[in-house]
Amino acid sequence: MIEQLRIRDLGVIVDTTLTFGPGFTAITGETGAGKTMVVSALGLLMGERSDAGAVRSGADAARVGGLVRTSDPAVTELVEDAGGEVEDGDLTLSRTVSSEGRSRASVGGSAAPVGSLAKLAERLFAVHGQSEQLRLRSATAQREMLDRFGGNTLLTLLSEYQRAHYERRDLDAELAELTETRDARLREAERLREELEQIEAVDPQSGEEHELKTRIDRLSNIEELRGATSTALRALSNESDDPYSSDATTLLDEALREIEKVVSSDTQLEAIAESLRALSFQVSDVGRELAGYASNLDQDGPGELAEANERLAQLNALIRKHGVDTDEVIAYGASAAQRLGELDGDDDRIEMLSKRLQEVRETEAQLATQLTEMRSDAAVRLGELVSTELHQLALPDANFVVEVAPSELGKFGADEVKLLLQPHPGASPRALAKGASGGELSRVMLALEVVVAASDPVPTFVFDEVDAGVGGAAAIEIGRRLARLARTSQVIVVTHLAQVAAFANNHLQVVKDSAGGFTQSSCRQLEGEDRLAEMARLLSGLPDSENALAHASELLALATE
């Protein structure tokens, strides 16, 4: 329930606060005073599209704020998802529209996308104006109305049906794709199998190509390596019998012997002797390493170079096809093996999908049949109840018919719902989309909401000129039905008929002030003599007419009976 609505700089309204409260609130005022702006303000709070042209001339922005009382857990969850908070059942909503067309929203004290307001509106409000009456002409709106009347049982069944429907649709698509692309998938599997055989035959190892390149470079220069190694070995340790040969080992040993002869004469030479010994050991170690290296070179030959080049060529062939190095080739092989496993399982997958599809199709068909039966039962009851309401709304001979006809299976079942109006006995029922006048649509809409609210209540109903095209006794009955609807929901009605406003327990008047050369409006709550004068104005245009005042008093007395 919306308790307060503050409007600033919207249309002709400068700054006003409307207090609604529970029950039935009627909003009246002279033509052009800005009654429609109240509905527009509520629309902004419900996330409807903004219009910079609605910003009051000279203002930088239009601002609308609302205080809503709610105990609906679903609303609280939506508010928290938007980053806001419901405090002790109070929810604040706001919307700002700049003169440049920018729009901002706030939910529960936090900035939020405008779409959050629209999601909340689905749980909080139902707005009925000329556009909603036109929407009632659509097949979708007519089916939704019947499903709402069917209540939670029907809506739960519809949800179960839709789960089966969507699963069947997905299975159909997947099975069709598998079947239609089977030849292509077989070719893909054959290609992957050949590629995997090639990779497995070569069996590449991580980083192997780099090691091979280094080895090939060494084998390609083996004679130079052998010559340099041999010369270095002779320089370090010449094992020939020539007594005059002078290699590094011999020279170091000779130097060490000469120093050791005199070290006892000067202890400072001990350090030099130790260094000579270390150098001798190091030269011996280097010599052994060179000898080992030279031994390995002697074992390498042209055959090994050929083998290395052949191995590198095999690896490069794989790298050119599957990546930039052996690591990528190995990774491709793993993914190809996984994909091949999927493709090889196509037959099993098709068999499983076909079996599951048959099961889901049967479930979908059974649920669709149940949905049709439940809608057909609800259609009979809805037609009878709405017909009774229409008889009280100055359509005494009218008969409301809800037709459930078979249609192609879709996401809402296999039914086409049509709302028909038979204006009098003997006439053929006419589709609302074609035959109902504006006044008849207004009364049908109200009758539907009164009936449907019993099984699917809405916290707040907003009616904009629901009394269009009617008057007299019909208007009084509309007022009665609105008051009846207000027993279970909050009802806010913009009206120009005293017969409707008389049944409200809260009467607000939009007041126009044209002083100062420009028009601005505000809103005030009417009671006592002020309300009686407004009722008289609605009846005759003369708020001071004794006859109009008497008629207004009579209407108010009738409404309180």
Letter for the amino acid at 96? T
Q: Nearest 5°: CA angle at 460, between 470 and 523?
A: 70
**312/211 Cα distance (integer angstroms):** 10
At which residue do the structure tokens 């909080």 appear? 124
The stretches in the chain having pLDDT less than 50 are: 517
**79/86 Cα distance (integer angstroms):** 7
The CATH number of 1-129+465-526, from 3.40.50.300, 3.40.640.10, 3.60.15.10, 3.90.76.10, is: 3.40.50.300
Tokens of 29: 């005022």
Q: What is the structure's pLDDT at 68?
A: 92
Tokens of 112: 């939020």
Q: What is the structure's pLDDT at 232?
A: 84
Encode 258-269 in three state secondary structure.
HHHHHCCCCCCH
Going from the C-alpha of 54 to that of each of 63, 98, 424, 464, the distances in angstroms are 11, 10, 44, 18
Domain residue spans of the chain: 1-129+465-526, 208-324
Cβ-Cβ contacts under 8 Å for 368 (sequence gap 6 or more): 161, 409, 413, 414
Tokens of 431: 């589709």
The three-class DSSP label of residue 19 is: strand
**385/44 Cα distance (integer angstroms):** 34
pLDDT digits (tens, 9 = 90+) for 194-235: 889 899 998 999 988 888 888 787 777 777 777 787 788 878
Q: What is the structure's pLDDT at 94?
A: 93
